[in-house]
Amino acid sequence: MLKTLFSSSIMGLAFTLASAPVLAQNWQLDSENSSLHFVSVKNDHVAEVHRFTEINGDLTDGKLTINIPISSLDTDIAIRNERMHKHLFDSAEYPLVTATAQIPDELYDTSTTLGTLPAVVPLTVFIAGEAVDVDAVVQINKLSSDRIVATTSQPVLISTREFGLVEGVNQLREIAGLDRIDYVVPVTFTVQFDLVPYRE
């Protein structure tokens, strides 16, 4: 009798677990606590720091997607923002810069060990209709079971040649009356993700 009851209980538990919704991991990017900056160098020795004020994204079961609206570009000069929208990013047709990646579980799994670990994250970056693979060298800080922060350990170098943006850079140089604008742009970022549990 006891054996029969025990077997029935085990079978019932197994059925319940098998039919229960699977808890997936959905990490949402916190735009207010994230930042992205890039540096432009003109006439060989004049460097200026610019930023995007809005970053959106999520990390769902290892698939990372980050979207950066071109409209959030901030160079501290309104007319320069407009020129870059038009001549560099072609923002009327391509309103977003997007980065995607597949992230290994150990880089965002906070169920076991918290702390900081280094990583190289292969990104696919989409700018103005062109996709280029770049590596981001980052430090990932697992702050708690529901919060992680990734910060660049060194700048990500974006080549405007690889993205087909040289013509746009040259147009900006001519409009501004400059001798030179560097074709390689260093980018740094900090992104914070908060865990938002959901059931499939």
- In DSSP notation, 147-196 reads EEEEEESSPEEEETTTTT-HHHHHHHHHHHT-S-B-SEEEEEEEEEEEE-
Q: Is 71 part of a structural domain of the chain?
A: yes
Q: Is 5 part of a structural domain of the chain?
A: no
Task: Count other C-beta atoms under 10 Å from residue 8's C-beta.
Answer: 10
Alpha-carbon dihedral sign for residues 99, 174, 81, 77 = positive
Q: What is the predicted pLDDT for the residue at 14?
A: 44
What is the C-alpha separation between 5 and 9, in angstroms, rounded? 6
Q: What is the predicted pLDDT for the residue at 199?
A: 53
pLDDT higher than threshold 50 for residue 107: yes
Q: Is 12 part of a structural domain of the chain?
A: no
Q: Is 178 part of a structural domain of the chain?
A: yes
Q: Is 4 part of a structural domain of the chain?
A: no
Q: How many H-runs (helices) and E-runs (strands) does the chain carry?
A: 4, 14
What is the C-alpha separation between 108 and 25, in angstroms, rounded? 10
Contacts of 187 (CB under 8 A, 6+ apart): 36, 37, 38, 152, 155, 156, 157, 158
Find the mean pLDDT for residues 88-107. 96
185 or 25, which is more confident: 185
pLDDT higher than threshold 70 for residue 49: yes
Confidence class for position 111, pLDDT limits 50, 70, 90: confident
C-alpha torsion 164→165→168→170, nearest 10: -100
pLDDT higher than threshold 60 for residue 59: yes
CATH number of the domain encompassing residue 170: 2.40.128.110
Q: Is 2 part of a structural domain of the chain?
A: no
20 or 74, which is more confident: 74
Q: How large a percentage of the chain has pLDDT more than 70? A: 86
Task: Count other C-beta atoms under 10 Å from residue 109's C-beta.
Answer: 14
Q: Is 103 part of a structural domain of the chain?
A: yes
Q: What is the predicted pLDDT for the residue at 15?
A: 45
Q: What is the predicted pLDDT for the residue at 24?
A: 64
pLDDT higher than threshold 90 for residue 109: no
Q: Is 7 part of a structural domain of the chain?
A: no
Q: What is the predicted pLDDT for the residue at 156?
A: 98
Domain count, the chain: 1
Name residue 54's amino acid: E
Q: What is the predicted pLDDT for the residue at 114?
A: 87
pLDDT higher than threshold 60 for residue 3: no
Confidence class for position 146, pLDDT limits 50, 70, 90: very high
Q: Which residues span the domain enclosing 54? A: 26-199
C-alpha torsion 99→104→110→116, nearest 10: -80
